[in-house]
């Protein structure tokens, strides 16, 4: 099988490519140039996709004896990931750029080009597993090492993309074993630190980066009754659940701290209130997709313009390294638009619009949606 190995310049993708070679595949390595200013060398463990990383990937490919190329995807990355990141913050949401990168770049643009060039599959160093069910359908599952599991950020993959995805690290019990294997293979990236933070904000200062890329619009900080408590320099600098840095200047009547409850882009207001109001038990998501076949209840939903599927049990995760929570989910269709709804068995705190909710059943990833609304169903609580 002709396999295109996406090589980021890190140890995971290098070992994944090596294992693809060991499996007998005809492997070609490719590094994605995503930055418009690739001359900047990374320092420490922050960021990724720099010229330093492309050189590390080249050295790994040379050691493995496979062809190696660098593909310039910077324009696509700017439009689909960076610009989307800014637009989401401008709309009062908290986006996850890694989800968009996997969706739009690594498993859309890259796979599309790979298939056009005659490759059969794309191989990456993600910790996740593709399983084939009894009927031959592909499913996405958690990796063996739950501590390193990356199935959450792959929840955007479709059934067609799973057909052409290979994750050689799926059964690896620990990152330490990957590093040890890289050392044994003589790969220079064996001890290279993991990258972290948002790759196009390598210093980790998201607020500062946004201030440089968005027009600041001062506005009001208000309580849940609409009473003005202070002024902000730009609503994008705040996130739901934030406590520090509000600069309100006067305490709440009960003396307890206030938290950011909501960002209102239309009125450019930041709403603050007591910690108790951060708890939510209902989430509604837009742009749902299914990682393989959708649940039976979704398939059975009437094809009317408006409709609702039966509820089905799930575990839902809203952060890459968050704990999954038990819930009931259902799909609705209103005016031709699908919305994925989830009711949590136990309330969660600090869930913000723009985050991605990924649904699981056991180790299997069912699908995902971008959270559009998160709230407490107080009417249901009162009725009970």
pLDDT digits 0-9 by tens, 363-379: 999 999 999 999 987 54
Assign residue 117 the CATH number of its domain: 3.40.50.620
Q: For residue 203, is it within any domain? A: no
- The residues, ordered by sequence, that sit 6+ positions from 60 with a Cβ below 8 Å of its Cβ are 7, 9, 14, 17, 18, 29, 187, 188, 189
The total domain count for the chain is 3
Assign residue 246 the CATH number of its domain: 2.30.30.280
- Both 68 and 11 in one domain: the answer is yes
Assign residue 289 the CATH number of its domain: 2.40.30.10
123 is catalytic: no
Q: For residue 346, is it within any domain? A: yes
CA nearest 92: which of 236, 213, 258? Answer: 236
SS3 of 353, please?
Answer: coil
What is the model's pLDDT at position 378? 53
Q: For residue 207, is it within any domain? A: no
Helix (H), strand (E) at residue 188: none
- Both 126 and 175 in one domain: the answer is yes
C-alpha 316/C-alpha 344 separation (Å) is 8
Domain that holds residue 267: 215-273
- Both 291 and 377 in one domain: the answer is yes
- Both 101 and 245 in one domain: the answer is no
What is the model's pLDDT at position 334? 79
Q: What single DSSP character describes residue 216?
A: -
- State the catalytic residue, choosing from 49, 123, 199, 341: 199
199 is catalytic: yes
What is the model's pLDDT at position 384? 41
- State the catalytic residue, choosing from 49, 101, 123, 341: 101
- Both 148 and 231 in one domain: the answer is no
237: its two tokens:
């600098």
- Both 160 and 90 in one domain: the answer is yes
- Both 169 and 51 in one domain: the answer is yes
- Stretches where the chain sits below pLDDT 70 are 36-49, 196-197, 302-306, 378-384
What is the model's pLDDT at position 271? 93
- Both 225 and 353 in one domain: the answer is no
In our burial notation (b when 16+ CB lie closer than 10 A, e otherwise), range 59-75 reads: bbbebbebebebbebbe
Q: For residue 190, is it within any domain? A: no
What is the model's pLDDT at position 92? 82
| Residue that terminates a domain, selected from 184, 206, 237 | 184
C-alpha 360/C-alpha 315 separation (Å) is 5
Residues in the chain, overall count: 384
Q: Do residues 334 and 284 make contact, with C-beta atoms less than 8 angstroms apart?
A: no
Q: For residue 149, is it within any domain? A: yes
- Both 237 and 287 in one domain: the answer is no
Residue with tokens 């206030």: 258
């Amino acid at each position: 099988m002709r396999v295109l190995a996406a090589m980021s310049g890190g140890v995971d993708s290098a070992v994944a490519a090596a294992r693809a070679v060991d499996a007998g595949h005809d492997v070609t390595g490719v590094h994605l140039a995503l930055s418009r200013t690739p001359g900047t060398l990374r320092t420490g463990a922050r960021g990724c996709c720099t010229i330093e990383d492309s050189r590390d990937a080249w050295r790994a490919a040379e050691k493995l004896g496979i062809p190696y190329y660098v593909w310039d995807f910077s324009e696509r990355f700017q439009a689909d990931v960076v610009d989307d990141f800014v637009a989401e913050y401008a709309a009062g949401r908290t986006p996850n750029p890694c989800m968009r990168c996997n969706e739009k770049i690594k498993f859309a643009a890259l796979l599309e080009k790979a298939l056009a060039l005659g490759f059969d599959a794309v191989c990456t160093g993600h910790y996740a597993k593709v399983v084939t069910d009894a009927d031959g359908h592909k499913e996405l599952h958690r990796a063996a090492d739950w501590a390193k599991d990356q199935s959450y950020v792959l929840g955007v993959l479709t059934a067609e993309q799973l057909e052409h995805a290979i994750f050689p690290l799926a059964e690896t019990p620990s990152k330490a074993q990957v590093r040890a294997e890289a050392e044994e293979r003589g790969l220079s990236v064996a001890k290279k630190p993991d990258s972290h933070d948002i790759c196009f904000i390598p210093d980790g200062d998201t607020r500062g980066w946004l201030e440089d890329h968005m027009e600041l619009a001062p506005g009001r900080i208000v309580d849940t009754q609409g009473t003005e408590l202070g002024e902000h320099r730009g609503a994008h600098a705040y996130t739901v659940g934030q406590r520090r840095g509000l600069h309100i200047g006067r305490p709440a009547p009960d003396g307890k701290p206030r938290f950011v409850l909501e960002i209102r882009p239309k009125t450019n207001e930041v709403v603050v209130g007591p910690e108790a109001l951060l708890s939510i038990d209902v989430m509604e998501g837009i742009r749902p997709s299914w990682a393989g076949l959708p649940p039976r209840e979704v398939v059975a939903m009437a094809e009317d313009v408006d409709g609702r599927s039966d509820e089905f049990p799930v575990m839902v995760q809203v952060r890459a390294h968050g704990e999954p929570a038990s819930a009931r989910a259902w799909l609705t269709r209103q005016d031709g638009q699908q919305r994925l709804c989830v009711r949590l068995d136990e309330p969660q705190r600090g869930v913000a619009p723009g985050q991605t909710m990924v649904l699981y059943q056991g180790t299997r990833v069912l699908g995902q949606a971008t959270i559009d609304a998160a709230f407490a169903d107080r009417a249901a609580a009162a009725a009970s």
